[in-house]
Amino acid sequence: MILVFGANGQLGQELARAGAARGVALAGVSRAAADIADTAAVGQALAQHQPRLVINAAAYTKVDLAETEIEAARQGNEVGPQVLAQACAALSLPLVHVSTDYVFDGTKSGAYVETDPIAPTGSYGRSKAAGEAAVRAANPRHVIIRTAWVYGEFGHNFLKTMLRLAATRDELRVVADQRGCPTSTTDLADALLAIAPRLIAGDDVWGTYHFAGAGVTTWHGFASRIVAAQAPLTGRVPRVTPITTAEYPTPARRPANSALDCAKLARVFGLRAQPWEDETDRITRALVAAQLGKTAHVA
């Protein structure tokens, strides 16, 4: 049994779908059922499900609001992971914790490797970095997976925002001077379930890994791919205009370079993500087809 905390989030829902497709015994716990910062609730969930592996897909992910909701970010991204890691350690349970590219400052010219020094630039990144440190300190039987630019069919994400805007606007102005690796929740969930058997078996593969979509693009390139993929289905062809970060100021400063080198995970586990373009096309078509189906059904 694998127990997933954060079951109602976009990754948690994808893990449930992937687990069902793979025939994996998997249970999910929502935040309403067990806030990971609540020691008693975490302990109760572990006692109820008696898992052999725990995946923490719960997190505070509001990057800009984290600049003012500092304590909420700390509870979700530092305190919660610490509570979960301590509870798992007490039961000798391995823990998979999902982290982010935002622990880096984005000044490196090439892709970040796991051993590069972290230097988060905002409250969200600092809280995630602190969460990583808490997990490492509390439970030696851990795997931390840093990922980036996550999107999928569930929850709120950049791809779904672009589809919504493309349906009504003739121009989309999107930042073109930030680089990264769009990562589908499908790819990420499959990877987490693929490494699970080795963690349950106790293989000495503990540590920090990067896993992100294959290839690097900008937010503008990502948006352009989404718009191109939806156009044949919707007939909508809005312009996608590149802008600079300075033209789109946000409370939190984003890394100019979020590219992650995933060679370590490929070497240890034999896993590689799909090209981001292929996953973007597939998920865009699935979302648009579902929306058109709903529209037709209602009509």
Reply yes or no on whether the pLDDT at 55 is more than 80: yes
> What pLDDT was estimated at residue 198?
97
Closest listed residue to residue 14, CA positions, set 200, 121, 151, 130: 151
**Does the residue 285 lie in any domain?**
no
Query: Is 297's pLDDT higher than 80?
Result: no
State yes or no: pLDDT of 21 exceeds 60.
yes
The counts of H helices and E strands in the chain are: 10, 12
For position 92, which CATH number holds?
Answer: 3.40.50.720
Residue 294 has a pLDDT of 62
Structural domain contains residue 172? no
In a domain, 238, yes or no: no
Contact by Cβ (8 Å): 144, 99:
yes
The model's pLDDT over 91-144, given as tens digits with 9 standing for 90+, comes to: 999 999 999 999 999 999 999 999 999 999 999 999 999 999 999 999 999 999
**Domain presence at residue 246:** no
Whole-prediction pTM: 0.94
Q: Does 194 map to a domain? A: yes
Q: In this structure, is residue 249 part of a structural domain?
A: no
Q: Is 126 within the bounds of a domain?
A: yes
**Is 60 inside any structural domain?**
yes
Does residue 38 carry a pLDDT above 50? Answer: yes
pLDDT 10s digits, 213-225 = 999 999 999 999 9
270 has a pLDDT exceeding 70: yes
Domain with 262 in it:
2-157+181-215+258-274
| pLDDT score for 296 | 41
Task: Supply the pLDDT for residue 35.
Answer: 94
**Number of domains into which the chain is organized:** 1
Given a cut of 90, whether residue 46 has pLDDT beyond it is: yes
- Which of the residues are catalytic? 124
Contacts of 221 (CB under 8 A, 6+ apart): 176
